[in-house]
Amino acid sequence: MKNPNALTIGKLARHGGVNIMTIRYYERRGLLPAPTRTASGYRLYADDAVRRLQFIRQSQLLGFSLTEIQDLLSLRMQPGTTCADIRSRAKEKIGAVEKKIEDLERIKNALTGLASACRGKGPTAECPILEALETK
């Protein structure tokens, strides 16, 4: 091997804790750059691919979609992009997360109201939950 650190796709997958198919999928999506190939066509990854995979996974854990992660990655590559650009993406995401939380709080309150209206006794014909769902 020319590069002593080169990883085959299977090793990269084990390193990153993802499936081989996921790596190929990320490559198709443009999230991972196409690596060099051996003469027989095998992908060979350098160490930075591991960091790239970590970036993707961490970003996913923070609620970014693959498309948004792509956006973050290309922002990073563009000269002239500042830290403020990245921070604004983070703040947008915070806003979206807050909105989702509010939606879920509303749902939770509505469900809690219904559940407490139901004594839990009797047939379904008299269930206040079912009635509430039918009557808009």
Partner DNA sequence: ATAAACCCGGTACCTTGGTATAGAGTCAAG
Partner DNA sequence: CTTGACTCTATACCAAGGTACCGGGTTTAT
Query: Is 1:36 a contact under the CB 8 Å cutoff?
Result: no
43 binds DNA (CB under 7 A): yes
Nearer to a copy of itself among residue 37 and residue 87 (C-beta): 87
* DSSP label of 120: S
Query: Is 71:35 a contact under the CB 8 Å cutoff?
Result: no
3-state secondary structure of 134: helix
Amino acid present at 67: T
Minimum distance from CB of 136 to a copy of itself (Å)? 5
Nearer to a copy of itself among residue 4 and residue 123 (C-beta): 123
Question: Which of a copy of itself, DNA, none does residue 132 bind to, with CB < 5 to 8 Å depending on kind?
Answer: a copy of itself
Minimum distance from CB of 135 to a copy of itself (Å)? 7
Please list every residue from 76 through 95 that binds a copy of itself, using CB under 8 A.
Answer: 76, 81-87, 90-91, 93-94
On the CB side of 104, CA atoms within 13 Å amount to 6
Question: Which of DNA, a copy of itself, none does residue 22 bind to, with CB < 5 to 8 Å depending on kind?
Answer: DNA
* Cα separation of the two ends of the chain: 68
